[in-house]
A and B are shown apart, each in its own frame.
Chain A
Amino acid sequence: MKFSTLNDAFWLKLWFSLKSEAAKNYLNYVWWLLEPALHVAVFYFVFGLIFQRGGEGFIAFLLCGQIPYLWFSRTVNNAAGSILGGRGLIQQMAIPTAFFPAVVVGKDALKQTVVFAVLLLFLATQGAQPSWMWLTLPAVVFTQLLLVTGGALLVAAVTPFVPDVRFLIQAGMMMLLFASGIFYDYSELLSEQQQSFFLMNPVANLIVSYRNVLLHGDWPNWPGLFWISMLSGACIMGMLIFYRRAAPVYARLVVE
Protein backbone atom coordinates (compact mmCIF):
# COMPACT_ATOMS: atom_id res chain seq x y z
CA MET A 1 0.00 0.00 0.00
CA LYS A 2 1.41 3.41 -0.99
CA PHE A 3 2.22 5.95 1.73
CA SER A 4 -0.16 8.54 0.20
CA THR A 5 -3.03 6.02 0.28
CA LEU A 6 -2.19 5.07 3.83
CA ASN A 7 -2.04 8.71 4.90
CA ASP A 8 -5.45 9.47 3.35
CA ALA A 9 -6.92 6.31 4.86
CA PHE A 10 -5.46 7.15 8.29
CA TRP A 11 -7.04 10.61 8.50
CA LEU A 12 -10.37 9.48 7.07
CA LYS A 13 -10.53 6.51 9.42
CA LEU A 14 -9.60 8.77 12.32
CA TRP A 15 -12.31 11.36 11.60
CA PHE A 16 -14.90 8.74 10.82
CA SER A 17 -14.06 6.74 13.97
CA LEU A 18 -14.62 9.88 16.05
CA LYS A 19 -17.89 10.51 14.25
CA SER A 20 -19.00 6.90 14.62
CA GLU A 21 -18.05 6.80 18.31
CA ALA A 22 -19.93 10.03 19.01
CA ALA A 23 -23.01 8.77 17.14
CA LYS A 24 -23.32 5.86 19.59
CA ASN A 25 -24.11 8.15 22.56
CA TYR A 26 -26.78 10.74 23.18
CA LEU A 27 -24.27 13.29 24.45
CA ASN A 28 -21.88 12.73 21.52
CA TYR A 29 -18.67 14.76 21.80
CA VAL A 30 -19.59 16.06 25.30
CA TRP A 31 -18.26 12.74 26.66
CA TRP A 32 -14.74 13.79 25.75
CA LEU A 33 -14.93 16.24 28.66
CA LEU A 34 -17.54 14.53 30.78
CA GLU A 35 -15.53 11.31 31.18
CA PRO A 36 -12.47 12.91 32.86
CA ALA A 37 -14.78 15.25 34.80
CA LEU A 38 -16.70 12.28 36.23
CA HIS A 39 -13.49 10.49 37.25
CA VAL A 40 -12.22 13.60 39.01
CA ALA A 41 -15.62 14.05 40.69
CA VAL A 42 -15.42 10.51 42.11
CA PHE A 43 -11.91 11.06 43.50
CA TYR A 44 -12.87 14.45 44.88
CA PHE A 45 -15.93 12.94 46.58
CA VAL A 46 -13.96 10.09 48.15
CA PHE A 47 -10.70 11.82 49.10
CA GLY A 48 -11.74 15.46 49.29
CA LEU A 49 -15.13 15.19 50.97
CA ILE A 50 -15.23 11.84 52.80
CA PHE A 51 -11.58 11.55 53.93
CA GLN A 52 -11.13 15.33 54.14
CA ARG A 53 -7.75 15.25 52.38
CA GLY A 54 -6.28 17.47 49.73
CA GLY A 55 -7.29 20.90 50.93
CA GLU A 56 -7.39 23.99 48.72
CA GLY A 57 -6.68 23.45 45.02
CA PHE A 58 -7.32 19.72 45.31
CA ILE A 59 -9.52 19.67 42.19
CA ALA A 60 -6.76 21.25 40.07
CA PHE A 61 -4.27 18.79 41.62
CA LEU A 62 -6.55 15.87 40.73
CA LEU A 63 -7.16 17.12 37.20
CA CYS A 64 -3.43 17.42 36.46
CA GLY A 65 -2.98 13.77 37.48
CA GLN A 66 -6.17 12.18 36.28
CA ILE A 67 -6.25 13.64 32.75
CA PRO A 68 -2.79 12.39 31.70
CA TYR A 69 -3.47 9.03 33.36
CA LEU A 70 -6.80 8.64 31.53
CA TRP A 71 -5.14 9.44 28.21
CA PHE A 72 -2.57 6.68 28.73
CA SER A 73 -5.03 4.16 30.12
CA ARG A 74 -7.76 4.78 27.51
CA THR A 75 -5.39 4.58 24.54
CA VAL A 76 -3.60 1.45 25.74
CA ASN A 77 -6.95 -0.26 26.47
CA ASN A 78 -8.43 0.71 23.11
CA ALA A 79 -5.28 -0.27 21.23
CA ALA A 80 -5.29 -3.74 22.79
CA GLY A 81 -8.34 -4.75 20.76
CA SER A 82 -7.57 -2.66 17.69
CA ILE A 83 -6.01 -5.38 15.50
CA LEU A 84 -8.74 -7.90 16.25
CA GLY A 85 -11.29 -5.11 15.68
CA GLY A 86 -9.78 -4.49 12.25
CA ARG A 87 -9.98 -8.15 11.19
CA GLY A 88 -12.62 -7.29 8.55
CA LEU A 89 -10.06 -5.19 6.70
CA ILE A 90 -7.01 -7.32 7.54
CA GLN A 91 -8.75 -10.27 5.91
CA GLN A 92 -9.41 -8.35 2.71
CA MET A 93 -6.32 -6.31 1.97
CA ALA A 94 -2.60 -6.22 2.62
CA ILE A 95 -2.81 -3.26 5.02
CA PRO A 96 0.03 -2.52 7.49
CA THR A 97 -1.07 -3.85 10.86
CA ALA A 98 0.30 -0.82 12.72
CA PHE A 99 -2.44 1.18 10.98
CA PHE A 100 -5.03 0.01 13.52
CA PRO A 101 -3.28 1.00 16.79
CA ALA A 102 -2.07 4.17 15.04
CA VAL A 103 -5.67 5.23 14.37
CA VAL A 104 -6.49 4.63 18.05
CA VAL A 105 -3.50 6.74 19.14
CA GLY A 106 -4.45 9.54 16.71
CA LYS A 107 -8.11 9.50 17.75
CA ASP A 108 -7.35 9.66 21.47
CA ALA A 109 -4.63 12.29 20.97
CA LEU A 110 -7.11 14.49 19.14
CA LYS A 111 -9.64 14.16 21.95
CA GLN A 112 -6.89 14.88 24.44
CA THR A 113 -6.01 18.15 22.70
CA VAL A 114 -9.52 19.40 23.37
CA VAL A 115 -9.39 18.14 26.98
CA PHE A 116 -6.05 19.93 27.59
CA ALA A 117 -7.44 23.16 26.11
CA VAL A 118 -10.40 23.00 28.50
CA LEU A 119 -8.07 22.09 31.39
CA LEU A 120 -5.96 25.22 30.78
CA LEU A 121 -9.10 27.33 30.61
CA PHE A 122 -10.37 25.77 33.84
CA LEU A 123 -7.05 26.33 35.66
CA ALA A 124 -6.87 29.94 34.47
CA THR A 125 -10.37 30.67 35.72
CA GLN A 126 -9.87 28.82 39.02
CA GLY A 127 -7.03 30.94 40.30
CA ALA A 128 -3.96 29.13 38.93
CA GLN A 129 -1.79 31.92 37.54
CA PRO A 130 -0.93 31.22 33.88
CA SER A 131 2.85 31.46 33.73
CA TRP A 132 5.47 31.46 30.98
CA MET A 133 6.20 27.89 32.02
CA TRP A 134 2.92 26.88 30.42
CA LEU A 135 4.80 27.27 27.13
CA THR A 136 6.78 24.14 28.03
CA LEU A 137 3.54 22.13 28.22
CA PRO A 138 3.81 20.93 24.56
CA ALA A 139 7.12 19.22 25.46
CA VAL A 140 5.40 17.30 28.25
CA VAL A 141 2.40 16.46 26.05
CA PHE A 142 4.67 15.35 23.20
CA THR A 143 6.65 13.10 25.55
CA GLN A 144 3.42 11.55 26.73
CA LEU A 145 2.31 11.08 23.12
CA LEU A 146 5.50 9.08 22.51
CA LEU A 147 4.88 7.00 25.63
CA VAL A 148 1.24 6.40 24.70
CA THR A 149 2.23 5.44 21.12
CA GLY A 150 4.89 2.99 22.31
CA GLY A 151 2.51 1.42 24.84
CA ALA A 152 -0.33 1.20 22.31
CA LEU A 153 1.85 -0.42 19.61
CA LEU A 154 3.20 -2.91 22.15
CA VAL A 155 -0.11 -4.11 23.60
CA ALA A 156 -1.81 -4.12 20.18
CA ALA A 157 0.96 -6.39 18.86
CA VAL A 158 0.83 -8.83 21.75
CA THR A 159 -2.94 -9.17 22.26
CA PRO A 160 -3.75 -11.12 19.03
CA PHE A 161 -1.06 -13.71 19.98
CA VAL A 162 -2.10 -13.91 23.65
CA PRO A 163 -5.67 -12.57 24.08
CA ASP A 164 -5.40 -13.08 27.87
CA VAL A 165 -3.13 -10.02 27.99
CA ARG A 166 -6.26 -7.87 28.10
CA PHE A 167 -6.94 -9.00 31.68
CA LEU A 168 -3.36 -8.14 32.64
CA ILE A 169 -3.76 -4.70 31.05
CA GLN A 170 -6.84 -4.03 33.16
CA ALA A 171 -5.02 -5.06 36.33
CA GLY A 172 -1.96 -3.07 35.25
CA MET A 173 -4.03 0.05 34.69
CA MET A 174 -5.60 -0.32 38.12
CA MET A 175 -2.13 -0.60 39.64
CA LEU A 176 -0.97 2.42 37.64
CA LEU A 177 -3.93 4.41 38.94
CA PHE A 178 -2.76 3.89 42.53
CA ALA A 179 0.98 4.04 41.80
CA SER A 180 1.08 7.30 39.84
CA GLY A 181 0.31 9.83 42.54
CA ILE A 182 -2.96 10.95 41.00
CA PHE A 183 -4.80 11.64 44.26
CA TYR A 184 -1.85 12.00 46.63
CA ASP A 185 1.37 13.97 46.75
CA TYR A 186 4.19 11.43 46.56
CA SER A 187 6.72 13.86 48.09
CA GLU A 188 4.72 13.94 51.35
CA LEU A 189 4.21 10.19 51.62
CA LEU A 190 7.43 8.57 50.39
CA SER A 191 11.01 8.56 51.63
CA GLU A 192 13.69 9.87 49.25
CA GLN A 193 14.74 6.36 48.29
CA GLN A 194 11.13 5.39 47.62
CA GLN A 195 10.65 8.57 45.59
CA SER A 196 13.36 7.70 43.07
CA PHE A 197 11.77 4.26 42.68
CA PHE A 198 8.31 5.87 42.33
CA LEU A 199 9.56 8.20 39.59
CA MET A 200 10.70 5.24 37.50
CA ASN A 201 7.02 4.86 36.67
CA PRO A 202 6.80 6.97 33.47
CA VAL A 203 3.18 8.01 34.06
CA ALA A 204 4.01 9.20 37.61
CA ASN A 205 7.05 11.03 36.24
CA LEU A 206 4.96 12.78 33.59
CA ILE A 207 2.32 13.77 36.15
CA VAL A 208 5.07 15.44 38.18
CA SER A 209 6.01 17.46 35.11
CA TYR A 210 2.40 18.40 34.38
CA ARG A 211 1.95 19.63 37.97
CA ASN A 212 5.28 21.49 37.96
CA VAL A 213 4.29 23.37 34.82
CA LEU A 214 0.59 23.94 35.38
CA LEU A 215 0.27 24.32 39.15
CA HIS A 216 3.66 25.53 40.36
CA GLY A 217 4.82 27.59 37.34
CA ASP A 218 8.02 25.54 37.41
CA TRP A 219 10.12 23.75 34.76
CA PRO A 220 9.08 20.23 33.81
CA ASN A 221 11.28 17.37 34.97
CA TRP A 222 13.60 17.51 31.91
CA PRO A 223 15.72 14.43 32.71
CA GLY A 224 12.51 12.46 33.22
CA LEU A 225 11.10 13.69 29.90
CA PHE A 226 14.37 12.87 28.14
CA TRP A 227 14.49 9.27 29.34
CA ILE A 228 10.79 8.66 28.70
CA SER A 229 11.21 10.02 25.15
CA MET A 230 14.27 7.89 24.48
CA LEU A 231 12.74 4.67 25.78
CA SER A 232 9.39 5.33 24.06
CA GLY A 233 11.14 6.20 20.80
CA ALA A 234 13.14 2.96 20.96
CA CYS A 235 9.95 1.03 21.72
CA ILE A 236 8.14 2.64 18.74
CA MET A 237 11.02 1.86 16.36
CA GLY A 238 11.27 -1.70 17.59
CA MET A 239 7.53 -2.25 17.30
CA LEU A 240 7.38 -0.80 13.77
CA ILE A 241 10.10 -3.22 12.66
CA PHE A 242 8.21 -6.04 14.34
CA TYR A 243 4.90 -5.06 12.65
CA ARG A 244 6.62 -4.92 9.28
CA ARG A 245 7.93 -8.44 9.67
CA ALA A 246 4.83 -9.91 11.26
CA ALA A 247 2.13 -8.31 9.04
CA PRO A 248 1.12 -11.45 7.07
CA VAL A 249 1.16 -13.47 10.29
CA TYR A 250 -1.54 -11.23 11.81
CA ALA A 251 -3.91 -11.81 8.88
CA ARG A 252 -3.86 -15.52 9.68
CA LEU A 253 -3.78 -15.01 13.42
CA VAL A 254 -7.08 -13.15 13.53
CA VAL A 255 -8.86 -16.19 12.08
CA GLU A 256 -6.91 -18.91 13.90
Chain B
Amino acid sequence: MPTTALELRDVTLEYRMRRSFFRHSFRRALDGVSFDVEKGETVGIIGGNGSGKSTLLRVLGGIYRPNSGHIACWCENIMMLSLGLGFDPELSGRDNALIGGVLLGGRRREVKQRVDQMIAFAELEEQSKDPVKTYSSGMKARLGFSVALTMEADLLLIDEVLGVGDQAFQQKAKAAMLSRINSEQTVVFVSHSLAMVTQLCNRVVWLERGRVRQQGSAVDIVEAYKIEQQNKT
Protein backbone atom coordinates (compact mmCIF):
# COMPACT_ATOMS: atom_id res chain seq x y z
CA MET B 1 0.00 0.00 0.00
CA PRO B 2 1.60 3.30 -1.05
CA THR B 3 1.64 5.95 1.66
CA THR B 4 1.63 8.70 -0.94
CA ALA B 5 -1.75 10.02 -2.01
CA LEU B 6 -0.57 12.41 -4.72
CA GLU B 7 2.65 13.10 -6.56
CA LEU B 8 3.24 16.10 -8.82
CA ARG B 9 6.37 16.52 -10.92
CA ASP B 10 7.10 19.61 -13.04
CA VAL B 11 3.45 20.38 -13.64
CA THR B 12 2.96 23.30 -16.02
CA LEU B 13 -0.35 24.72 -17.19
CA GLU B 14 -1.02 27.60 -19.55
CA TYR B 15 -4.27 29.39 -20.27
CA ARG B 16 -4.81 30.41 -23.85
CA MET B 17 -6.44 33.79 -24.35
CA ARG B 18 -7.92 34.84 -27.70
CA ARG B 19 -6.75 38.29 -28.73
CA SER B 20 -8.18 38.47 -32.24
CA PHE B 21 -9.35 36.07 -34.95
CA PHE B 22 -6.06 34.19 -35.33
CA ARG B 23 -4.00 35.62 -32.47
CA HIS B 24 -3.78 34.06 -29.06
CA SER B 25 -1.70 34.86 -26.03
CA PHE B 26 -0.74 32.50 -23.27
CA ARG B 27 -0.64 32.97 -19.51
CA ARG B 28 1.33 30.46 -17.48
CA ALA B 29 -0.74 29.70 -14.38
CA LEU B 30 1.49 26.86 -13.10
CA ASP B 31 5.18 26.59 -13.86
CA GLY B 32 7.10 23.42 -12.99
CA VAL B 33 5.20 22.66 -9.78
CA SER B 34 6.42 19.58 -7.86
CA PHE B 35 5.37 18.26 -4.45
CA ASP B 36 3.88 15.17 -2.77
CA VAL B 37 0.87 14.69 -0.51
CA GLU B 38 1.05 11.78 1.94
CA LYS B 39 -2.06 9.85 2.95
CA GLY B 40 -3.76 11.31 6.02
CA GLU B 41 -1.91 14.63 5.96
CA THR B 42 -3.31 18.11 5.42
CA VAL B 43 -1.33 20.23 2.99
CA GLY B 44 -1.98 23.95 2.77
CA ILE B 45 -1.48 26.00 -0.39
CA ILE B 46 -0.79 29.68 0.17
CA GLY B 47 0.13 32.57 -2.09
CA GLY B 48 -1.14 35.91 -3.33
CA ASN B 49 -3.97 36.49 -5.80
CA GLY B 50 -3.19 34.98 -9.21
CA SER B 51 -0.43 32.76 -7.84
CA GLY B 52 -2.15 29.65 -9.23
CA LYS B 53 -3.71 28.17 -6.06
CA SER B 54 -7.19 27.47 -7.46
CA THR B 55 -5.75 26.26 -10.78
CA LEU B 56 -3.50 23.85 -8.87
CA LEU B 57 -6.49 22.50 -6.95
CA ARG B 58 -8.32 21.87 -10.23
CA VAL B 59 -5.31 20.05 -11.62
CA LEU B 60 -5.23 17.87 -8.49
CA GLY B 61 -8.95 17.16 -8.88
CA GLY B 62 -8.45 15.96 -12.48
CA ILE B 63 -10.53 18.86 -13.77
CA TYR B 64 -7.69 20.49 -15.73
CA ARG B 65 -5.08 18.52 -17.65
CA PRO B 66 -1.68 20.22 -17.42
CA ASN B 67 0.26 21.12 -20.56
CA SER B 68 3.26 19.18 -19.29
CA GLY B 69 4.47 17.36 -16.21
CA HIS B 70 3.38 14.24 -14.41
CA ILE B 71 0.68 13.62 -11.81
CA ALA B 72 0.26 10.31 -10.01
CA CYS B 73 -2.74 9.79 -7.74
CA TRP B 74 -3.45 6.83 -5.47
CA CYS B 75 -6.92 8.01 -4.40
CA GLU B 76 -10.10 6.54 -5.83
CA ASN B 77 -12.49 9.26 -4.86
CA ILE B 78 -11.43 12.92 -5.04
CA MET B 79 -13.84 15.63 -4.00
CA MET B 80 -13.46 19.34 -4.41
CA LEU B 81 -15.17 21.21 -1.64
CA SER B 82 -16.22 24.49 -3.11
CA LEU B 83 -19.29 26.62 -2.86
CA GLY B 84 -22.48 26.55 -4.85
CA LEU B 85 -21.79 23.38 -6.84
CA GLY B 86 -23.63 24.64 -9.91
CA PHE B 87 -26.88 25.24 -8.03
CA ASP B 88 -30.03 25.60 -10.11
CA PRO B 89 -31.68 28.84 -8.91
CA GLU B 90 -35.20 27.66 -9.80
CA LEU B 91 -34.98 24.50 -7.66
CA SER B 92 -35.44 24.28 -3.92
CA GLY B 93 -32.51 24.00 -1.52
CA ARG B 94 -33.56 20.40 -0.83
CA ASP B 95 -33.53 19.43 -4.54
CA ASN B 96 -30.19 21.16 -5.04
CA ALA B 97 -28.73 19.37 -2.02
CA LEU B 98 -29.87 16.03 -3.44
CA ILE B 99 -28.41 16.59 -6.88
CA GLY B 100 -25.24 18.11 -5.38
CA GLY B 101 -24.73 15.04 -3.18
CA VAL B 102 -25.22 12.67 -6.11
CA LEU B 103 -22.79 14.66 -8.26
CA LEU B 104 -20.25 14.40 -5.47
CA GLY B 105 -20.39 10.63 -5.78
CA GLY B 106 -23.22 9.50 -3.48
CA ARG B 107 -25.96 7.08 -4.56
CA ARG B 108 -29.41 8.63 -4.84
CA ARG B 109 -30.96 6.69 -1.94
CA GLU B 110 -28.01 7.28 0.31
CA VAL B 111 -27.96 11.03 -0.42
CA LYS B 112 -31.75 11.25 0.05
CA GLN B 113 -31.27 9.95 3.58
CA ARG B 114 -28.64 12.60 4.25
CA VAL B 115 -30.50 15.59 2.84
CA ASP B 116 -32.11 16.44 6.18
CA GLN B 117 -28.67 16.37 7.79
CA MET B 118 -27.32 18.71 5.09
CA ILE B 119 -30.23 21.13 5.49
CA ALA B 120 -29.92 21.07 9.29
CA PHE B 121 -26.17 21.73 9.19
CA ALA B 122 -26.76 24.67 6.82
CA GLU B 123 -29.48 25.93 9.23
CA LEU B 124 -31.95 26.17 6.35
CA GLU B 125 -34.83 24.04 7.68
CA GLU B 126 -37.41 26.79 7.20
CA GLN B 127 -36.25 27.74 3.70
CA SER B 128 -35.43 24.24 2.41
CA LYS B 129 -38.44 24.14 0.07
CA ASP B 130 -37.94 27.66 -1.32
CA PRO B 131 -36.14 28.15 -4.65
CA VAL B 132 -32.42 28.81 -4.24
CA LYS B 133 -32.83 32.08 -6.19
CA THR B 134 -34.48 33.51 -3.05
CA TYR B 135 -31.43 32.64 -0.88
CA SER B 136 -28.82 35.17 0.15
CA SER B 137 -25.25 34.48 -0.97
CA GLY B 138 -24.44 33.40 2.61
CA MET B 139 -27.31 30.89 2.62
CA LYS B 140 -26.17 29.43 -0.71
CA ALA B 141 -22.61 29.18 0.56
CA ARG B 142 -23.78 27.41 3.73
CA LEU B 143 -25.80 24.93 1.70
CA GLY B 144 -22.86 24.23 -0.66
CA PHE B 145 -20.53 23.68 2.27
CA SER B 146 -22.98 21.38 4.07
CA VAL B 147 -23.58 19.24 0.97
CA ALA B 148 -19.87 18.78 0.32
CA LEU B 149 -19.03 18.18 3.97
CA THR B 150 -21.66 15.45 4.34
CA MET B 151 -20.24 13.41 1.45
CA GLU B 152 -17.17 11.18 1.78
CA ALA B 153 -13.95 11.16 -0.25
CA ASP B 154 -10.40 9.76 -0.11
CA LEU B 155 -8.93 13.13 -0.99
CA LEU B 156 -10.60 16.37 -0.09
CA LEU B 157 -9.65 19.53 -1.97
CA ILE B 158 -10.83 22.66 -0.18
CA ASP B 159 -10.87 26.06 -1.84
CA GLU B 160 -11.41 29.02 0.49
CA VAL B 161 -14.68 27.80 1.94
CA LEU B 162 -14.17 28.24 5.65
CA GLY B 163 -15.07 31.91 5.50
CA VAL B 164 -18.68 30.98 4.83
CA GLY B 165 -21.67 32.57 6.54
CA ASP B 166 -21.75 34.45 9.84
CA GLN B 167 -19.33 34.10 12.77
CA ALA B 168 -21.32 31.31 14.46
CA PHE B 169 -21.52 29.25 11.25
CA GLN B 170 -17.81 29.77 10.60
CA GLN B 171 -17.02 28.30 14.01
CA LYS B 172 -19.28 25.33 13.31
CA ALA B 173 -17.81 24.82 9.83
CA LYS B 174 -14.28 25.00 11.21
CA ALA B 175 -15.06 22.45 13.94
CA ALA B 176 -16.59 20.10 11.35
CA MET B 177 -13.56 20.48 9.11
CA LEU B 178 -11.19 19.85 12.02
CA SER B 179 -13.00 16.66 12.99
CA ARG B 180 -12.74 15.49 9.39
CA ILE B 181 -9.07 16.38 9.15
CA ASN B 182 -8.37 14.56 12.44
CA SER B 183 -10.03 11.38 11.15
CA GLU B 184 -7.14 10.45 8.81
CA GLN B 185 -8.64 12.39 5.91
CA THR B 186 -6.15 13.49 3.23
CA VAL B 187 -6.74 17.18 2.55
CA VAL B 188 -5.29 19.84 0.28
CA PHE B 189 -6.40 23.19 1.59
CA VAL B 190 -6.22 26.55 -0.20
CA SER B 191 -6.69 29.64 1.92
CA HIS B 192 -5.70 33.25 2.45
CA SER B 193 -6.24 32.82 6.19
CA LEU B 194 -2.74 32.13 7.51
CA ALA B 195 -4.01 31.47 11.04
CA MET B 196 -6.29 28.74 9.75
CA VAL B 197 -3.56 27.25 7.56
CA THR B 198 -1.20 27.07 10.55
CA GLN B 199 -3.91 25.50 12.69
CA LEU B 200 -5.15 22.92 10.15
CA CYS B 201 -2.13 21.97 8.03
CA ASN B 202 0.90 19.74 8.60
CA ARG B 203 2.75 21.05 5.59
CA VAL B 204 2.45 24.12 3.39
CA VAL B 205 3.33 24.82 -0.24
CA TRP B 206 3.88 28.52 -1.00
CA LEU B 207 3.06 29.43 -4.60
CA GLU B 208 4.26 32.58 -6.31
CA ARG B 209 3.38 33.34 -9.95
CA GLY B 210 2.68 29.69 -10.56
CA ARG B 211 5.97 28.41 -9.12
CA VAL B 212 6.68 26.73 -5.80
CA ARG B 213 8.55 29.38 -3.83
CA GLN B 214 8.99 27.23 -0.71
CA GLN B 215 7.52 24.13 0.90
CA GLY B 216 7.90 22.65 4.34
CA SER B 217 6.37 22.65 7.81
CA ALA B 218 3.30 24.87 8.17
CA VAL B 219 4.76 27.08 10.91
CA ASP B 220 8.04 27.78 9.04
CA ILE B 221 6.50 28.51 5.66
CA VAL B 222 3.71 30.69 7.03
CA GLU B 223 6.30 32.64 9.04
CA ALA B 224 8.47 33.16 5.93
CA TYR B 225 5.41 34.20 3.93
CA LYS B 226 4.38 36.73 6.61
CA ILE B 227 7.85 38.29 6.62
CA GLU B 228 7.75 38.59 2.82
CA GLN B 229 4.33 40.27 3.00
CA GLN B 230 5.54 42.71 5.67
CA ASN B 231 8.61 43.60 3.59
CA LYS B 232 6.39 44.33 0.60
CA THR B 233 4.26 46.84 2.53
Contact = CB atoms under 8 A, between A and B. Distances in A.
A74 interface: no
B95 A16 contact: yes
B63 A91 contact: yes
B3 to A, nearest CB: 24
B63 A16 contact: no
Contacts of B88: 16-17, 20
Interface in A83-106: 86, 88-95
Contacts of A21: 90
Interface stretch (A5-13, A50-58, A63-71): A5-13
Interface residues of B, number: 33
A2 B106 CA distance: 10
Interface string A1-40: 1101100110011001101110110000000000000000
A211 B84 CA distance: 48
Contacts of B62: 94, 248
Interface residues of A, number: 30
A92 B63 contact: yes
A16 B17 CA distance: 35
B99 A16 contact: yes
Among B13, B58, B80, B84, max chain A CB count under 10 A is at B58
A119 B91 CA distance: 30
Question: Mostly helix, strand, loop or mixed at chain A's interface?
Answer: helix
24 contacts: A4-B107, A5-B102, A5-B105, A5-B107, A8-B107, A9-B102, A9-B103, A13-B99, A16-B91, A16-B95, A16-B99, A20-B90, A23-B90, A23-B131, A91-B58, A92-B63, A92-B80, A92-B85, A248-B65, A251-B58, A251-B63, A252-B13, A252-B65, A255-B15
Given A19-B95, A252-B16, 5 more contacts: A12-B99, A16-B91, A91-B58, A93-B79, A255-B15
Interface of A: 1-2, 4-5, 8-9, 12-13, 16-17, 19-21, 23-24, 86, 88-95, 248-249, 251-252, 255-256
Interface of B: 13, 15-18, 58, 61-65, 78-80, 82, 84-88, 90-91, 95, 98-99, 102-108, 131
